[in-house]
Chain A
Amino acid sequence: MLDTPVQVVAGVADGLLPPVVLGVTALTLLVIDTVRPDETSLALLGGVGAAGSLVAFGVAAALLAGGVDPTTVYGGAVMLDGTSLYFTLVFASVTALVSVASYDYLRGQDYAGEFYALVLFSATGMSLMAAANSLATAFVALELTSLPSYALVAFLKQNEGSSEAGLKYFLVGAVSSAVLVFGISLVYAATGALTFGAVAEGLTTADDLVGIVGLGVVMIAGGMAFKTAAVPFHFWAPEAYEGAPAPVSAFLSSASKAAGFALAFRVFVGAFPLDVLVPMGVDWVLIFQVLAVVTMTLGNFAAATQENVKRMLAYSSIGHAGYALIGLAALSADGPNGAVLGASMAHLFVYGFMNTGAFLFVAMVEHWGVGRTFEDYNGLATRAPMASVAMTVFMFSLAGLPPFGGFFSKYALFYAAVDSGFWWLAAVGAVNSALSLFYYSRVVRALWIEEPAVDLSLGRRPVGLYVAVVGAALATLLLLPAFGPVVETAQTVAATLF
């Protein structure tokens, strides 16, 4: 045990510190906003939000570097181990970027305090999702993540698009939560247990309940698909991302998606062991293979036809969910499962930076009021070269071109898939990546090659957005040399899940 004041007072385990820090930050933000409701200082709120997430990042990184023994707390409901800390790194860094970037975006908006508090509450829920060790915790954490995000998507109350997107997101989310909780109840019915270890134990004697178990597993997979924006639960994503304030889109498409994957990895690896379920007739790997192929293909195909950059990014984010699903789809009874899952986790880590950065660039363009289509981006590089360089880095990295972080993470992912015998998954992924280059390079072409509109002028430089975008670009570049440690950590912590 560390001996920080929080722990002395509340008896919090080491691994629980990051979520506690995030939660306390959220409450602090509420307090600040309550004390001075009329004169909210964006710098103070944004600073507290960013600082809180950076502290959470630092604590998680320190604990991870020091080596962690998996421990369970609260009667086995929460598991504190490398995986939970690793994903907390992703959430915390995205939260920090979004907090910094929102400083400019929220200028002139009411309820900035609530905005930051909701972001931080959602982040708290995410880090609990990554630590869930029981189906009940999983559901509660998922709702803790989702409910603030519905409000965040609808944050621009006067904006029809934002409100509409929020409502749709909420409705689809409600349906999906219903599906998830139904699935959980079926699994509980079959096994009489909620903690993952006990569920796995109970499944060994549930042979005659295969129908119930199978239905429950597929429905739980559906709940995960909602959170990760995978087919067929992806319908909310393009509209929510397009309607939401761009920093929120960044937050949802990076952190929230990663949280969905964190939970999916935990539930399926921990509670539904392959060597029990496959002989029984519930081959969830097959389900994820179908979902992965359909999701990446649909995401990329749809992205190729968009005229609106933000919507293109929304679909590309669905495509990336497909890539990350390979982490579950390429598992096998005796394959290099740790390597596969770890590669997917590493991809999510890199993706957190490059995708957040791309959405924040869109936020910056929205801030300038230039427009949303590819044509509106024409010649931006002549006015904002630095940010355009950053956007170019994000686009090429998302497409998986060397020498950017996204190249290595996709390479590791496809390599791991081939290594465990699923070469066709890697092949589908590679074809899709090649296709994605088409629409990503449209952005780059618009920025650098096309002539700007005659009267293009951008006005003020938003400091916070610039800092966040350039920071994300630097991280994307630095993840090229630093990818080794990241993927090694991911694969090490992933291996302990099995």
Chain B
Amino acid sequence: MAAFDFAPLIVLLPFAGFLVAVGAALTRPGVLPKGGALPGIAATVGSLLLSAWVALQVLAGDRAAETVYVWSAAPAAGVPELVFSLLLDPLAALMLLVVSLVALLVHVFSLGYMNDEGETGLPRYYAGLGLFTASMLGFVVAGNLLMAFVFFELVGLCSYLLIGFWFREPGPPSAAKKAFLVTRFGDYFFLVGLVGVFATFGTAAFAGPESFPVLAEAVLAGEASARTFGFEARTWFSVLGLLILGGVLGKSAQFPLHTWLPDAMEGPTPVSALIHAATMVAAGVYLVARVYGFYALLPTVLAVIALVGGFTALFAATMCVVKREIKQVLAYSTISQYGYMMLGLGAGGYVAATFHLLTHAMFKALLFLGAGSVIIAMHHDEDMWNMGGLREKMPVTYYTFLAGSLALAGIVPFSGFWSKDEVLYEALIHGLAGSPAVLVAYAMGLLAVLFTGFYTFRMVLLTFHGDPRTETARDPHGVGWSVKAPLVVLGVLATTAGALNAVPVHEVLGFPPEYLHDWLAHDGGQSAFAALTSEHYGELLKTQAGYASAEVSSVAAGLVSLALALVGAGAAVVLYRGPDPDPHTEKLGAARTVLYNNYYQDEYQAWLAESFVRPLARVLDGVDQGVVDGGVNAVSSVSLFSGRRLRYVQTGVVSNYAALLTLGLTALVVAAALVGGWFT
């Protein structure tokens, strides 16, 4: 179990990097070379190596769920114990690899994006990155819901710090606040759900026979009991599941809590890459996958997840179509892609969704870093209509960006095709077999493929093809190795990661093996972890959620989505090719205004806040000021008054003290005697 002994270090190393950067910033700014990037890089390299070691150990069949720190021991039987514990299983090991890899590449890229651009406040930046990485890694290895919540909140805090990095400009602080508040709104439900889980099951552990998903399963089978507060067990569990889902919707930017994410583009681009690919936004989806054993028991909640996911995928994809700024396109595409993952989870495709989480991490990190490279070249102009023709000037960026785009659009054989296709395939077969909600979600997801192909290629064409449309684009700023190296690494991975789980190929040729399915399916011979395998989830979906599978060829389904993606991409090529493409958005008429304004999501949420929340807050404030504070103030004015009286008693004359002391003692004796009846 050697590797597992070092597992806490995976989290602690980036945290140490954070401490070093903060310490340097506080004591002697400038003492660290590269503004603190090097400790961060060293720490993430360490985390990556340790993660790989852990993954090898998991591959060898080991699993672990161990308590690291008892936060609050159970004071009595029946009272939950609060602990920090590690859960190391295939899902966590996979995610550890992804997070530490992306974090490392983002650190390296930042050398080019932040250091070389002469930004100030770099120790603060690298401290933020370090804490962000540590928080996400801590979230990934969390062995119970409470610890997950703690790190979930830390992730939110770090995103606030980093999005608002350029706090002297007007935009970033406001975007940071928005990201924090909107995700906090979701987290509030998560917190209530967390308390609910403790109250219901007396534990929030993820793994083992005493974990809450296993207990929930036993309760539904009538083999155990839990406190359900008068509800029928499944109803109550669904309420809990939906509450936890609140946090997921906020963090993973799902409708209607997605509005923070596009604004978060105000942060430095490497941070966007980290947020979108591996940390903050991934946290929500990962949480659902982590407690999938619980969600698989609840068909209603699954349907909600699938519908929200499918709708978000389509809804966000349509908004991408009219965006002018390259990072805005990527932002909405992130929302859309996480919609696919939710769709996959809701449709019973646990492996498919995990697969898409993995490939998306690769290609979205790639696209953001590529966009960052373009933004460096364009002297921080992000408007695609000011670009054009960058292909010749920056070939490395172009080819890697193209690989990422092909993956995003879902073109065979790039990684995104295989994972998105599998998500849609799972939705289709379960939808056809009697789950109309899933089928509707599938239809929305499928339609979104068309839009995805379109906006992706519109972005590529406007940025890299045609003639340069501005002076800056004619003479772009060069980028260094620290920018190119991460792009190449991610470019290779975005191209090839699909081979991990090429289901349609496997169906036809019986080769290659479905590595990811095998990775997630088995418990490594340790029955304590049997409840965390995709085999077990499949069983639950069948028996508890009533999901059946229709017989559909995965090849046929894949061909349909590929065709749609090609149509979308083709349309973009037709419209935007040539040296000097026209903006065709006017042709959309009224729809264009709606899309430009993002369906007025921000407006209605601001309206809700102003017309309902603010008056309510005002009333509560009145209660607080008048009743609560009034009470406290009354107590303190009484106390001040009587306190002044007391000063007269403390006369300073010692004989008075002796007298008062004796009187006090006498009063005590008399009282005790009367009560005790000593003289009767």
- List the interface of chain A (C-beta within 8 A of B): 167-168, 171-172, 175-176, 179, 210-211, 214-215, 218-219, 221-222, 231-233, 235-236, 238-239, 280-284, 286-287, 290-291, 298, 300-305, 431, 434-435, 438, 484
Contact = CB atoms under 8 A, between A and B. Distances in A.
B600 interface: no
5 contacts: A236-B657, A281-B675, A286-B675, A298-B646, A304-B640
B669 A305 contact: no
Given A210-B676, A231-B664, A438 B636 contact: yes
B527 interface: no
B668 A290 contact: yes
Nearest to A215: B669
A39 to B, nearest CB: 39
Q: Closest 3 A-B residue pairs measured CB to CB?
A: A232-B664, A281-B676, A305-B643
B654 A434 contact: no
B672 A283 contact: yes
Given A287-B672, A304-B643, A168 B678 contact: no
A290 B665 CA distance: 12
A232 B650 CA distance: 12
Contact of A233 (B652, B661, B675, B677): B661
B73 interface: yes
Contacts of B72: 484
State the majority secondary structure of interface residues on B.
helix
A214 B673 contact: yes
Given A210-B676, A281-B676, A305-B643, A218 B657 contact: no
Contact of A235 (B632, B660, B673): B660
Contact of B636 (A167, A281, A290, A304): A304
B678 A211 contact: yes
B639 A172 contact: no
Interface of B: 70, 72-73, 632, 635-636, 639-640, 642-644, 646-647, 650, 652, 654, 657-658, 660-665, 667-669, 671-673, 675-679
Given A231-B664, A286-B672, A435-B635, A168 B657 contact: yes
Given A211-B673, A282-B672, A305-B643, A235 B650 contact: yes
Contacts of A434: 632, 635
A304 B639 contact: yes
B661 A218 contact: no
Contacts of B662: 175
Contact of B660 (A210, A218, A232, A291): A232
Contact of A302 (B643, B660, B668, B672): B643
A479 to B, nearest CB: 15
A434 B629 CA distance: 12
Nearest to A434: B632
Nearest to A171: B654
Contact of B658 (A171, A281, A302): A171
Given A215-B669, A305-B640, A175 B661 contact: yes
Nearest to B650: A238
A124 B673 CA distance: 37
A366 B444 CA distance: 75
A280 B676 CA distance: 8
A286 B675 CA distance: 9
B73 A281 contact: no
Nearest to B638: A301
Contacts, number: 104
A172 B673 contact: no
Contacts of A298: 646
Nearest to A217: B672
Given A218-B672, A435-B636, 17 more contacts: A210-B678, A215-B669, A219-B669, A222-B668, A232-B665, A235-B650, A235-B660, A281-B676, A282-B672, A282-B678, A287-B668, A302-B650, A305-B643, A305-B646, A431-B635, A434-B632, A438-B636
Nearest to B658: A175
A435 B654 contact: no
Contacts of B675: 281, 283, 286
A450 to B, nearest CB: 20
Nearest to A336: B76
B643 A172 contact: no
For B635, B643, B675, the residue with the greatest tally of chain A CB atoms inside 10 Å of its CB is B643
A283 B73 CA distance: 35
Given A214-B673, A281-B676, A435-B639, A172 B660 contact: no
Contacts of A304: 636, 639-640, 643
Contacts of B642: 301
A308 B646 CA distance: 15
A415 to B, nearest CB: 8
A172 B678 contact: no
Given A172-B654, A172-B661, A211-B679, A218 B636 contact: no
A305 B654 contact: no
B655 to A, nearest CB: 8
A74 to B, nearest CB: 31
B676 to A, nearest CB: 3
A302 B649 CA distance: 11
A434 B644 CA distance: 19
Contacts of A438: 636
Contacts of A171: 654, 657-658
Contacts of B70: 484
B647 A305 contact: yes
A214 B636 contact: no
Nearest to A286: B675
B651 to A, nearest CB: 9
Contacts of B663: 232
Contacts of B668: 218, 221-222, 232, 287, 290-291
B673 A167 contact: no
A222 B73 CA distance: 38
Contacts of B671: 290
A301 B673 contact: no
A353 B126 CA distance: 37
A239 B652 contact: yes
A409 to B, nearest CB: 15
B307 to A, nearest CB: 41
A36 B662 CA distance: 46
B154 to A, nearest CB: 16
Given A218-B665, A232-B661, A168 B654 contact: yes
A283 B676 contact: yes
A238 B676 CA distance: 33
Contacts of B643: 301-305
A214 B672 contact: yes
A27 B562 CA distance: 92
Contacts of A215: 669, 673
Given A172-B657, A286-B672, A281 B678 contact: yes
For A215, A222, A302, the residue with the greatest tally of chain B CB atoms inside 10 Å of its CB is A302
A167 B654 contact: yes
Contacts of A303: 643
Contact of B647 (A210, A233, A235, A302): A302
Contacts of B672: 214, 218, 282-284, 286-287
A298 B645 CA distance: 11
A286 B674 CA distance: 12
A172 B655 CA distance: 9
Given A286-B672, A305-B647, A484 B73 contact: yes
Nearest to B75: A415
A432 to B, nearest CB: 9
A344 to B, nearest CB: 17
Contacts of A218: 665, 668-669, 672
A284 B671 CA distance: 11
